[in-house]
Amino acid sequence: MRCILCEKLSFKAICKSCVDKLLSENKKSRILDNNLKVYSFFSYSSIAPILHVKHHFWGHRVLNQIAKHTFGEFAKSFNFEDKVAAIGIDDVSQNGYSHTAILAKALKSSSITPVYRALRATNKVKYSGQSYDFRRKHPRNFSVCLKGVEYVILVDDVVTSGLTLKEASECLKKEGIDVLFALTLADAKE
């Protein structure tokens, strides 16, 4: 197999030298207007080609590798007195896997438990490439299927306008669930 970035021979989707170079993480954070704090590992422009592999059937290999080096490392250092659930935004399988489920799975630790199929969008509109106005006029309308959970970390691949994460966190709060923060691979706000 060849590295998807430099095309050198590699046993993994991204070779070690590209992982080391890429994962000199550019961590960012921002607070959405509903006070949800969103932590991101990269700026969107620095990882965009890698994020686009999620549209391919083999994209799970790349996402698994990146998730272990980002979300997995975060989980090792995260401590909280109570159990916390990692919830992927609308973790529906596409191309044979769910990118948000892969990211949530990488958070598994003694403090964090991934929970799947807990937050589903009833409106299946695609936001990719759409304007802020379009996103605002077409909410996801999440339904929550979660019992016995008090604390949640929301997980998504990219935060753009923040509307999806805001809507998801407000939906969970209505159910009495405390959303601690959101984690994303990339922040599209440059």
> Which CATH number belongs to the domain containing residue 138 in this structure?
3.40.50
pLDDT by residue (tens digit) across 33-80? 999 999 999 988 888 877 777 667 677 888 888 899 899 999 999 999
- Count of beta carbons in the 10 Å neighbourhood of residue 68: 15
Q: Is the dihedral of CA 33, 49, 107, 124 positive or negative?
A: positive
Give the E-state strand segments of the chain in sequence order.
28-31, 37-43, 84-88, 112-115, 119-121, 142-144, 151-159, 178-187
pTM: 0.87
Let me know if residue 42 belongs to a domain: yes
Let me know if residue 64 belongs to a domain: yes
Let me know if residue 38 belongs to a domain: yes
Q: How confident is the model at residue 159 (pLDDT cuts 50, 70, 90)?
A: very high
Flag whether pLDDT at 158 surpasses 80. yes
Mean pLDDT of the chain: 88
Let me know if residue 86 belongs to a domain: yes
Let me know if residue 167 belongs to a domain: yes
Q: What is the pLDDT of residue 152?
A: 98
Q: What is the pLDDT of residue 59?
A: 75
Mean pLDDT: which of 43-47, 83-87, 92-96 is highest?
Answer: 83-87
∠ CA 189-159-53, rounded to 5°: 105
pLDDT by residue (tens digit) across 102-130? 999 999 999 999 999 999 888 877 777 77
Flag whether pLDDT at 190 surpasses 90. no
Let me know if residue 12 belongs to a domain: no
The residue to which tokens 């799947």 are assigned: 116
Max distance between CA atoms of the chain, in angstroms, equals 50
N-to-C CA span, the chain: 33
Count the domains in the chain.
Answer: 1
Let me know if residue 141 belongs to a domain: yes
Q: Which domain holds residue 162?
A: 25-187
Q: How confident is the model at residue 94 (pLDDT cuts 50, 70, 90)?
A: low
Element (H, E) at 82: none
Let me know if residue 154 belongs to a domain: yes
